[in-house]
């Protein structure tokens, strides 16, 4: 019986809809700002919201949920964080961009970070409903590094 | 035992870290012989089927009964299996894909993941109330019941006597299974329930026990069906009778044999008209009629008869809700009917685009492969998914309930139709092994999908194809990604690995490495060689080389066998000129530099109008006041004359050209070798683009230095100016250094309020 839990995977056997990937580029700029561009497949996030919250985001249409930005930001805040020197930083949400090739870009920012001694990131975006989800994080700038998160590895300390 | 293993691991780690054995050949241009199969009489070294190539055949006659009350299918099938192999077969293997949904399915057991990822809703959905999987009720042949064993999704028939080469074996199976609710528990096939009008829409596939492939590469391909790796099936002829409620409309692989019995006279007339309509689809059932039909609850059943020749599978769809339109696509080798079946919920998108997208796909794909060899190509509307079968596919793309749709929905729908119809070519006709290699059909198909989209409309927003779109996937950490040449079940990031990267690689091969002319011929050659056959990866690799005279081993190795990425860097540029010893030119040069500095000097600039002491007092002047150090002396002239006399003709020509030499140092930081494409801009703002083949890295895979000579002087250099090599780091592609604005900066500093809504048609209708 317990094994059957895992059959949730069945939900997403689509032949063309094979994404399950987000890509986050984090730039620690020379001006000491943290600039983040997070790329989702719009369809994935919509599907996720339908399954998890019974909400239809309808991104990029006039019928788009009025509070879709705050819902998305709240979702991201619960499933993604950056810890600098052991304390979580507060990100601000600049906005989003929905494109016709299904890419959904989210722009986040943190102004003036302090000296970087240690860096820890949590990223379990979409993992709850897509067990095959992979979340790529690229660090840009002097830190140049990257890591791929998945449902088993959701927290990573960068060295 | 465990401790022992641990010790061994510890021992091996440092060795692994030390890296490769320096005495072996790790050159990125090393030939692929060790990676790919040795050619033989079944498959030649040129990539073609060999003179002893064979494939077995499976022919089916099936009677199906659809139960709309209980959402259940009952079927009986007679299979005639033909053994064209040179081997005796002691047993036959069949695939029971529905067993993936059985409660003891292996795919549930092996799937990993933490309990954290569960929630109450998902647990409720997964409560295995649904009794999926095949119920096999009879397996027999003329001699009586047959002995068989079921191993999860595979069934072995134990033959009393081995099936001889050239022999045939006819047997029959009876079965039934419960159809899954696709909207609740997912799946490639299943049903969608429409609550408003209490109707079901069935899209049915992998619904019958199907023969496995037996061939020279795998023996029996009976690797279990776990969900990701799709299908491998032999070709054969199908006769299928589908019995459904009398008011259902059925669409299926193949030609409708008894149209005259099934359709009314008006529908028949329209069906004939569609066969002549080249530009616009003709409605066989229009929306009004379909909307009326979906309210029907007529008693009785009706049997639709279909016939399909030389196909590897069979799929079908059935509903009261279907609107049906069709138009003809003319080909030299015969006409094809492009058709669509969709409920009114698909409109207005479906009536406008579906059948035309089918037609465009056939035209573009056929040009790159062969004429579409089947009589029909069908697109059926099925919310959320895209899934392909021979001649028929199930596609998503549904407008909102008010009939408007976002641009994203429209392109999503057209793309999925092009993609799934395109699967007719890969893998339905060029019948690669999907269970083993997802990329062979998904990657090649996504590549032609991109070409079709670009032919459908200017600036079509294709998601995959252009090199720069794969950069974010390829550039980072390699721990959790795998090479393209990875078995379907072991792939991380299915979409990027098996669709995006191989499609991009083929596009790069066409645009950058081979050029369109050589590529298109070779690719078409691969398609025609393996049409209605079972190709392996090496057959593609070899054909592309053999038909073009381009050694591509390095390309396949880098793009298909590794996770390396492209990052070529311009490390350093040095400017040289030959000293032609001409004192006149040399001194002129020195003078110019002297004047330039003088002009720049701030004190000089400010003092230039001042009258000096010497200006006032002529007596301060002497020899040196008028002396010009930049004037050529007699002695120097003499020396130069002597120098010239000693030069050969060739040498003096070079000297007179007065060329600029640039020594450029490049490094390959990503590991993946690629051509070096350089855009040189000169001081007079003219450009020259130079394309250097990847072979420049042949002897040193990581660092090279090359000298370029120009008459003009360089102003700047850009590497990969047309974004065609998937170079992941563009910061090191410029000389002098140039920083491109990041996506973040572009977003933050642009006027965000100017972007129109993506569903302006809704706004319009609301006004």
**What pLDDT digit, counting tens, does each position of B231-287 carry?**
999 999 999 999 999 999 999 999 999 999 999 999 999 999 999 999 999 999 999
Cβ distance B126 to A8 less than 8 Å, yes or no, reads yes
Among A107, A132, A140, select the one facing B747 at the smallest CB separation.
Answer: A107
Looking at every residue in chain A, the average pLDDT score rounds to 85
Asked if the peptide bond before residue B736 counts as cis, ω within 30 degrees of 0, the response is yes
CA distance linking residue B240 with residue B303, whole number of Å: 10
Residue B278 buriedness (CB in 10 A; 0-12 / 13-18 / 19+)? exposed
Q: Is residue A77 part of a domain?
A: yes
Cα–Cα distance list, B219 to B91, B97, B331, B761 (Å): 12, 20, 37, 56
Maximal CA-CA distance, chain A: 55
pLDDT value at residue B10: 37
pLDDT value at residue B652: 83
* pLDDT band for position B87 (cuts 50, 70, 90): very high
CB-CB neighbours of B302 under 10 Å: 17
Cβ distance A37 to B742 less than 8 Å, yes or no, reads yes
In chain B, the percentage of residues whose pLDDT exceeds 90 is: 73
Domain limits at A63? 22-158
Strand-pair partners of A148: A136
Q: Is residue A85 part of a domain?
A: yes
Asked if the peptide bond before residue B348 counts as cis, ω within 30 degrees of 0, the response is yes
User: Check: CATH 3.40.50 for B54-111+126-197+204-234?
Assistant: no
CA distance linking residue B587 with residue B593, whole number of Å: 10
The tokens of B516 are what?
């369109």
Cβ distance A25 to B473 less than 8 Å, yes or no, reads no
Q: Is residue A63 part of a domain?
A: yes
CA distance B488 to chain A (A): 13
Cβ distance A51 to B498 less than 8 Å, yes or no, reads no
Among A7, A23, A151, select the one facing B114 at the smallest CB separation.
Answer: A151
Residue B489 buriedness (CB in 10 A; 0-12 / 13-18 / 19+)? middle
Q: Which is it for strands A21-28 and A134-140: parallel, antiparallel or unpaired? A: parallel
For B752, list phi and psi in degrees, rounded to 5: -75, -20
The yes-or-no verdict on residue B435 having pLDDT over 70 is yes
pLDDT-wise least confident of A4-18, A110-124, B228-242, B658-672: A4-18
Chain A residues near residue B744 by CB distance under 8 angstroms: 25, 27, 35-37, 107, 109
CA distance linking residue A147 with residue A139, whole number of Å: 9
Q: Any idea what the Cα angle at residue B26 is, between residues B539 and B30, rounded to 5°?
A: 35
Mean pLDDT over B552-576 rounds to 96
CA distance linking residue B531 with residue B538, whole number of Å: 16
CA distance linking residue B722 with residue B497, whole number of Å: 24
Mean pLDDT over A16-25 rounds to 77
Please give the CATH number for the structural domain made up of B31-50+432-563: 1.10.390.10
Q: Which residues of B, range 262-321, sit inside 8 Å of A by Cβ?
A: none
Q: Is residue A27 part of a domain?
A: yes
ipTM, two decimals, is: 0.82
Write the CB contacts of B12 (distance below 8 Å, at least 6 apart in sequence): none
pLDDT value at residue B128: 59
Q: Is residue A3 part of a domain?
A: no
CA distance B472 to chain A (A): 7
The yes-or-no verdict on residue B96 having pLDDT over 70 is yes
CB-CB neighbours of A144 under 10 Å: 11
Cβ distance B752 to A21 less than 8 Å, yes or no, reads no
The CATH number of the domain where A69 resides is what?
3.30.70
CA distance linking residue B113 with residue A133, whole number of Å: 11
The yes-or-no verdict on residue B115 having pLDDT over 50 is no
Mean pLDDT over A48-53 rounds to 89
pLDDT value at residue B108: 55
Contact B279, B359 (CB under 8 A): no
Strand (E) or helix (H) holding B239: strand B236-245
CA distance linking residue B442 with residue B449, whole number of Å: 10
Residue B665 buriedness (CB in 10 A; 0-12 / 13-18 / 19+)? middle
pLDDT value at residue A144: 82
Q: If DSSP codes are grouped into helix, strand and coil, which group holds residue A2?
A: helix
DSSP string, B264-325: -HHHHHHHHHHTT-SSS-EEEE-HHHHHHHTT----SEEEEEEEEEEES---EEEESS-EEE
CA distance linking residue B430 with residue B425, whole number of Å: 6
Mean pLDDT over B502-526 rounds to 98
The string of pLDDT tens digits covering residues A118-155 is: 999 999 999 988 878 899 999 987 788 899 999 889 99
Cβ distance A10 to B408 less than 8 Å, yes or no, reads no
Domain ranges of chain B: 31-50+432-563, 54-111+126-197+204-234
Contact B178, B132 (CB under 8 A): yes
* pLDDT band for position A20 (cuts 50, 70, 90): confident
CA distance linking residue B706 with residue B680, whole number of Å: 14
pLDDT value at residue B60: 98
Q: For chain A, say whether B494 makes contact (Cβ under 8 Å).
A: yes
Write the CB contacts of B19 (distance below 8 Å, at least 6 apart in sequence): none
Mean pLDDT over B109-125 rounds to 46
The yes-or-no verdict on residue B704 having pLDDT over 90 is yes
DSSP string, B104-140: T-HHHHH----GGG--HHHHHHHSTTS--S-EEEEEE
* pLDDT band for position B9 (cuts 50, 70, 90): very low
Q: If DSSP codes are grouped into helix, strand and coil, which group holds residue B411?
A: helix
pLDDT value at residue B583: 85
The yes-or-no verdict on residue B539 having pLDDT over 70 is yes
CA distance linking residue B541 with residue B518, whole number of Å: 14
Looking at every residue in chain B, the average pLDDT score rounds to 90
pLDDT value at residue B587: 85
pLDDT value at residue B763: 54
Chain B residues near residue A34 by CB distance under 8 angstroms: none
Contact B467, B507 (CB under 8 A): yes
CA distance linking residue B565 with residue B558, whole number of Å: 8
Cβ distance B494 to A20 less than 8 Å, yes or no, reads yes
More confident residue, B658 or B502: B502
Asked if the peptide bond before residue B427 counts as cis, ω within 30 degrees of 0, the response is yes
Spell B618-628 as b/e; 16+ CB within 10 A means b: eeeeeeeeeee
pLDDT-wise least confident of B1-15, B292-306, B636-650: B1-15
Tell me which residue of B476, B521, B520, B522 sits closest to B496, measured CA to CA.
B476
The yes-or-no verdict on residue B13 having pLDDT over 90 is no
The order of strands in the sheet holding B703-710 is B568-577, B660-668, B703-710
Strand (E) or helix (H) holding B638: helix B634-645
For B258, list phi and psi in degrees, rounded to 5: -105, 45
Q: Is residue A14 part of a domain?
A: no
Cβ distance B117 to A140 less than 8 Å, yes or no, reads no
The yes-or-no verdict on residue B190 having pLDDT over 80 is yes
For A35, list phi and psi in degrees, rounded to 5: -115, 125
Contact B542, B46 (CB under 8 A): yes
Cα–Cα distance list, B167 to A129, B86, B140, B176 (Å): 50, 10, 18, 30
For B748, list phi and psi in degrees, rounded to 5: -65, -35
Spell B154-193 as b/e; 16+ CB within 10 A means b: bbbbebeeebeeeeebebbbbbbbbbbbbeebbbbbbbbe
The yes-or-no verdict on residue B5 having pLDDT over 60 is no
Q: Which residues of B, range 393-422, sit inside 8 Å of A by Cβ?
A: 396, 400, 404-408, 411-412, 415-416, 419-420
Contact B62, B92 (CB under 8 A): no
pLDDT value at residue B728: 95
The yes-or-no verdict on residue B456 having pLDDT over 90 is yes
Among B111, B385, B743, select the one facing A14 at the smallest CB separation.
Answer: B385
Contact B427, B440 (CB under 8 A): yes
User: Radius of gyration of chain B from Cα atoms?
Assistant: 35
Cβ distance B494 to A147 less than 8 Å, yes or no, reads no
Q: Any idea what the Cα angle at residue B559 is, between residues B554 and B564, rounded to 5°?
A: 100
The string of pLDDT tens digits covering residues B281-335 is: 999 999 999 999 999 999 999 999 999 999 999 999 999 999 999 999 999 999 9
CA distance linking residue B618 with residue B599, whole number of Å: 25
CB-CB neighbours of B732 under 10 Å: 17
Q: Is residue A16 part of a domain?
A: no
Q: Is residue A101 part of a domain?
A: yes
Tell me which residue of B695, B417, B353 sits closest to B552, measured CA to CA.
B695
The string of pLDDT tens digits covering residues B195-222 is: 999 999 999 999 999 999 999 999 999 9
Q: For chain A, say whether B107 makes contact (Cβ under 8 Å).
A: yes
Q: Which residues of B, range 77-106, sit inside 8 Å of A by Cβ?
A: 101, 103, 105
More confident residue, B630 or B64: B64
CA distance linking residue B11 with residue A154, whole number of Å: 30
User: Radius of gyration of chain A from Cα atoms?
Assistant: 16
Q: For chain A, say whether B741 makes contact (Cβ under 8 Å).
A: no
Residue B644 buriedness (CB in 10 A; 0-12 / 13-18 / 19+)? middle
Count how many domains chain A has. 1
Mean pLDDT over A45-69 rounds to 89
Chain B residues near residue A13 by CB distance under 8 angstroms: 186-188, 227
The tokens of B386 are what?
């895209």
CA distance linking residue A3 with residue B295, whole number of Å: 42
């Amino acid at each position: 019986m317990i094994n059957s839990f895992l059959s949730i995977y069945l939900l997403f056997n689509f032949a063309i809809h094979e994404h399950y990937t987000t890509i986050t580029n984090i730039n620690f700029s020379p001006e000491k700002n943290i600039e983040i561009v997070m790329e989702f497949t719009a369809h994935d996030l919509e599907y996720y919201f339908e399954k998890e919250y019974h909400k239809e985001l309808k991104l990029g249409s006039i019928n788009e949920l009025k509070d879709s930005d705050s819902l998305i930001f709240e979702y991201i805040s619960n499933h993604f964080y950056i810890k600098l020197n052991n304390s979580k930083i507060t990100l601000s949400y600049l906005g989003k961009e929905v494109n016709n090739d299904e890419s959904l870009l989210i722009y986040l920012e943190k102004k003036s970070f302090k000296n970087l001694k240690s860096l820890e990131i949590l990223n379990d975006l979409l993992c709850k409903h897509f067990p095959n989800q992979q979340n790529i994080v690229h660090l840009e700038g002097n830190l140049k590094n990257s890591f791929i998160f998945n449902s088993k590895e959701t927290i990573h300390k960068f060295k | 035992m465990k401790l022992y293993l641990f010790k061994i691991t510890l021992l091996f780690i440092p060795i692994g870290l030390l890296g490769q054995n320096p005495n072996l050949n790790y050159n990125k241009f090393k030939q692929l012989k060790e990676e790919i199969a040795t050619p033989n009489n079944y498959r030649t070294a040129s990539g073609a089927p060999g003179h002893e190539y064979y494939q077995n055949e499976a022919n089916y006659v099936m009677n199906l009964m659809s139960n709309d009350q209980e959402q259940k299918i009952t079927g009986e099938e007679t299979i005639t299996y033909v053994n064209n192999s040179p081997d005796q077969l002691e047993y036959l293997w069949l695939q029971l894909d529905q067993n993936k949904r059985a409660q003891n399915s292996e795919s549930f057991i092996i799937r990993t993941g933490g309990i954290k990822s569960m929630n109450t809703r998902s647990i409720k959905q997964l409560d295995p109330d649904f009794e999926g999987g095949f119920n096999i009720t009879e397996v027999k042949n003329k001699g009586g019941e047959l002995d068989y064993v079921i191993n999860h999704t595979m069934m072995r028939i134990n033959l009393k006597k081995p099936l001889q080469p050239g022999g045939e074996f006819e047997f029959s199976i009876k079965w039934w299974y419960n159809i899954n609710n696709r909207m609740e528990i997912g799946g490639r096939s299943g049903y969608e329930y429409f609550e408003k009008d209490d109707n079901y829409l069935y899209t049915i596939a992998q619904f019958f026990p199907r023969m496995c492939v037996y061939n020279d590469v795998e023996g029996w391909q009976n690797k279990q069906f776990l969900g990701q790796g799709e299908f491998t099936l032999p070709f054969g002829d199908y006769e299928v009778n589908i019995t459904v409620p009398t008011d259902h409309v059925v669409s299926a692989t193949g030609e409708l044999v008894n149209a005259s019995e099934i359709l009314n006279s008006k529908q028949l007339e329209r069906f004939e008209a569609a066969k002549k309509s080249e530009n616009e689809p003709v409605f066989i059932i229009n929306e009004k009629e379909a909307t009326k039909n979906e309210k029907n609850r007529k008693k009785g059943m009706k049997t639709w008869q279909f016939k399909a020749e030389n196909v590897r599978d069979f799929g079908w769809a059935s509903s009261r809700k279907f609107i049906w339109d069709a138009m003809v696509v003319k080909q030299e080798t015969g006409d094809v009917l492009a058709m669509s079946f969709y409920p009114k919920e698909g409109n207005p998108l479906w009536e406008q685009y579906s059948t035309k997208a089918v037609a465009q796909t056939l035209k573009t794909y056929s040009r790159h492969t062969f004429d579409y060899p089947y009589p029909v190509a069908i697109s059926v509307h099925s919310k959320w998914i895209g899934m392909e079968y021979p001649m028929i596919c199930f596609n998503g793309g549904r407008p909102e309930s008010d009939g408007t749709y976002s641009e994203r929905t429209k392109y999503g729908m057209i793309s999925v139709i092009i993609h799934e119809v395109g699967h007719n070519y890969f893998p339905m006709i060029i019948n690669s092994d999907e269970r083993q290699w997802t990329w062979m059909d998904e990657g090649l198909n996504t590549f032609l999908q991109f070409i079709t989209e670009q032919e459908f409309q200017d600036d079509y927003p294709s998601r995959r194809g252009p090199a720069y779109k794969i950069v974010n996937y390829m550039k980072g950490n390699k721990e959790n990604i795998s090479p393209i040449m990875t078995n379907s079940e072991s792939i991380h990031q299915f979409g990027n690995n098996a669709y995006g990267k191989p499609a991009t690689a083929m596009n790069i091969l066409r645009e950058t490495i081979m050029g369109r002319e050589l590529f298109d011929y070779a690719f078409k050659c691969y398609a025609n060689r393996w049409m209605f056959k079972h190709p392996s990866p090496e057959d593609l690799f070899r054909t592309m080389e053999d038909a073009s005279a381009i050694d591509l081993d390095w390309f396949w190795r880098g793009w298909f066998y590794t996770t390396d990425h492209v990052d070529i860097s311009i490390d350093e540029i040095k400017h040289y000129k030959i000293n032609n010893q001409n004192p006149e030119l040399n001194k002129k040069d020195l003078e110019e530099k002297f004047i330039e500095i003088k002009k720049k000097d701030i004190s000089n600039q400010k003092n230039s109008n001042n009258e000096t002491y010497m200006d006032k007092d002529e007596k301060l002047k002497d020899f040196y006041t008028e002396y010009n150090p930049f004037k050529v002396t007699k002695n120097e002239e003499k020396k130069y004359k002597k120098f010239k006399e000693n030069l050969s003709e060739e040498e003096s020509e070079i000297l007179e050209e007065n060329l600029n030499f640039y020594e450029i140092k490049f490094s390959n930081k990503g590991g993946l070798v690629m051509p070096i494409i350089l855009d040189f801009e000169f001081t007079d703002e003219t450009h020259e683009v130079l394309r250097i083949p990847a072979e420049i890295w042949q002897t040193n895979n990581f660092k090279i230095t090359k000298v370029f000579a120009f008459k003009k002087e360089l102003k700047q250099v850009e590497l990969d100016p047309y974004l065609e090599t998937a170079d992941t780091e563009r910061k090191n592609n410029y000389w002098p250094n140039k920083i491109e604005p990041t996506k973040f900066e572009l977003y933050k500093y642009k006027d965000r309020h100017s972007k129109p809504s993506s569903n302006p048609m809704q706004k319009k209708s609301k006004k």
